[in-house]
A and B are shown apart, each in its own frame.
Chain A
C-alpha cells in the first residue's frame, strides 16, 4: 500500500508537468515582455537616458495630446475600411472556391494560387505598388493613354487610398483562409435541404451559409484588425509619411529613444486591441463554433 501513495501523488502532478513547457514558453515570450513594457511605461526619461521611476507623466502626455487622439482615430479608420473590404473580398473569393468550383483538384489549385504571392516578402509586395500607382506609373499612363483623364491622378499614391489598397491586398488572404475553411466544413446536404425547403439562393446564403461561416469570419476579422491596428511600415511607405498610425507613432518615439513614452503608447494600444477582440468574441462564441 505504501508504494501506491507516491504514484498517486505523481499522477496528481502530471497535468501540471504536462502544461509546464507551454507555460514556460508563454511566460518567457509573452508575459515577461509585456510586463517589461508595462513597467517601463511608468519610467521617466530625457533625451539621452531612461530612469526607473513610477510616474504617470507618459500617460498624461499621451492622452492629453490631441495628436494622439487623431492618430488613434486614423488607425481605427484604416482598420474599419480594411476590415470591410477584406471581408467582402474574402467572403466572395472563399464562396466562389468552396461552392462554385466543383472539382476538388481545381479547388486546391485555386487555393494555392491565392497563397503564391505570400512566398515573397510583404515589403517587396508593398513597394511593387509604388511604380504601379505613382504619378508617372502604369495606372496613370494607362488612364491617360486611354484618354480617360488629362492629367495624372494624384490620389492614387501616398494617400489613404494607397494605404488601404495595400492593406487589403496584403491581408485579404487572412480573411479568405479561415472563411474558406469554415465553408468547406458545411455539409453539402444542408444546401440541398435549404433548397428543398424552398429557400432561394440568397435566402440560403443568409440563413444557412453565413451563420455557419461565422467562426471563420470572426477568426479572419481578428487577424485583419489586429494586423492593421499594429502596423507601421505599410502606413509609412504607402502614405509617403503623410498619414500616421499608432504603430508609426510608437516607431517614431523609439527612434527618438523615448522608450517610456513608446511603452505607454504600446500599453494603451494593447488595451484597445484587446477590447476590440473581446467585443468580437462576445458576438460569436468561438469555442461553441469550433
Chain B
C-alpha cells in the first residue's frame, strides 16, 4: 500500500483543561505522513489525553487539529480517518472475532456475507484466521490484541492510534508484538501514534519520539537524537543511560557506557570536569555488560555500564574506591 498523502498529523496549540487543571498545555507537533510516532512520558504527563483528543473521544479545549489538510477537531471519531486501539482492547464480549472485526462495516451497512469475508481477510493479516469463530473471552491477551488491531485496521484509517498497546502483555510476547507493529506500519505506510511509558519501546519503534512532561512537550525528534542529545536533565534521566552531572556552567549528561573506571588510592578525592571519584555501592551482572552504581561527590546516583570482558580483566567489588573518567566530547550540555 502506498503512503497516503493525507496521513500527516498536525497539532497547533492544542490544549486540554479539566476545570482548573490543565492536562495538555498548548502543544505544537507535526507528524509527517507514514511516520511511527511514540508519545512518551511518565504517568499524568498528558500523553493519553493527547491521543484521545486526536481520536476524538476527548473534546479539545483550545487549538487546532489537522490530518493532512483537513481540520478535524469538530469531526466525530469515525469521520477523522483515525482508528483507536484501546489499552484494554475493548472487544465486544458478545461478538465472535469475525463480528468484532466486521463491526464498523456493519455500521456502514455492508451486507453480512461481504463484511464477514472482509473481516476474515483482515484477521488473516494479523494471523488470527484460525480463531475467527471464538469469543474474546476464549482468547489470550495477545490474541485479543491482534483482533483489536484487525478491528482498527479494517476501517482503513490514515492514522492508527495505539494506547499503551503492549503494556498488558508478557515480556516475550511484547517483543514479538513490537516487531509485528513495526512491520504492519511499514507495510501499510500509514501514520501510527503510539502512547507508552516505556522508553525502550519508544526507541525500538519510533521514527519520532515525543517526550512529554506536565502537559508540555519536552523534546521531539528521532530516538537517536533524543538519546544522544537530551535537551534537559529530565529527558536525560527519563530516557535512561545517562548520568546528570553538575558542572560550573550548569549540567551535562554523560552516557553511562562511555565512562572508564580505575582503582583509586585511599583518600584521593577528585571532582573535576571529566573525572569523579566514588565508592562502588551496587553491582549487577547483565550478561553483555555489568552495571555499577557509585556514590560520588557530584551525584549519589552515578551509574556506570562496563562491557563484561573489560570489567572482568580488572574486576571491582562493592565498597571499592574508584575513579570514573570520561572524554569531554561525551559530556552533552543540558538546558536548565
Contacts and interface: CB of A to CB of B under 8 A. Distances in A.
Question: From DSSP, what is the main secondary structure of chain A's interface residues?
Answer: helix
Contacts of B106: 207
A198 B90 contact: no
Contacts, number: 61
A150 interface: no
Interface in B185-239: none
A193 interface: yes
A197 B91 CA distance: 12
A196 B83 contact: yes
Nearest to B84: A196
A198 B94 contact: no
Nearest to B99: A207
B151 to A, nearest CB: 7
A211 B84 CA distance: 23
Among A190, A193, A199, A207, the one with the most B-chain Cβ atoms within 10 Å of its Cβ is A193
B86 A197 contact: no
A198 B78 contact: yes
Nearest to A186: B93
B324 to A, nearest CB: 49
Interface in B146-161: 151-152, 155
A189 B78 contact: no
Interface string B15-26: 000000000000
B36 interface: no
A189 B76 contact: no
Nearest to B101: A197
A252 to B, nearest CB: 46
Name the interface size band of chain A: 10 to 19
A187 interface: yes
A211 B55 contact: no
A208 interface: yes
Given A198-B155, A212-B94, A192 B57 contact: yes
A196 B107 contact: no
A197 B102 CA distance: 10
B92 interface: yes
Contact of A187 (B55, B82, B88, B152): B88
A20 interface: no
Among B76, B82, B91, B107, the one with the most A-chain Cβ atoms within 10 Å of its Cβ is B107
B57 A196 contact: yes
A192 B86 contact: yes
Nearest to B155: A197
B78 A193 contact: no
Contact of A211 (B76, B94, B152): B94
A194 B86 contact: no
B11 to A, nearest CB: 19
Contact of A197 (B57, B88, B93, B151): B151
Nearest to A199: B107
Interface residues of B, number: 24
A251 to B, nearest CB: 43
A122 interface: no
Interface string B94-130: 1000000001101110000000000000000000000
Contact of A193 (B76, B82, B92, B94): B92
A190 B155 contact: no
B77 interface: yes
Contacts of B93: 190, 212
B96 to A, nearest CB: 13
Interface string A129-150: 0000000000000000000000
A242 interface: no
A212 B90 CA distance: 13
Contacts of A187: 88, 90
A70 interface: no
Among A192, A196, A208, the one with the most B-chain Cβ atoms within 10 Å of its Cβ is A196
A198 B92 contact: no
Given A196-B84, A197-B107, A190 B78 contact: no
A193 B55 CA distance: 11
Nearest to A188: B90
A75 B59 CA distance: 52
B92 A195 contact: no
Interface string A167-196: 000000000000000000001011011111
Interface in A218-273: none
Contacts of B57: 192, 195-196
B86 A193 contact: yes
A92 interface: no
A115 interface: no
A195 B90 contact: no
A196 B104 CA distance: 8
19 contacts: A190-B90, A190-B93, A192-B86, A193-B86, A193-B91, A195-B76, A196-B77, A196-B82, A196-B84, A197-B107, A197-B151, A197-B155, A198-B107, A198-B155, A199-B78, A203-B107, A207-B103, A211-B94, A212-B94
Interface of A: 187, 189-190, 192-200, 203, 207-208, 211-212
Interface of B: 55-57, 76-78, 82-84, 86, 88, 90-94, 103-104, 106-108, 151-152, 155
Given A192-B90, A196-B77, 4 more contacts: A190-B90, A195-B76, A196-B82, A198-B104
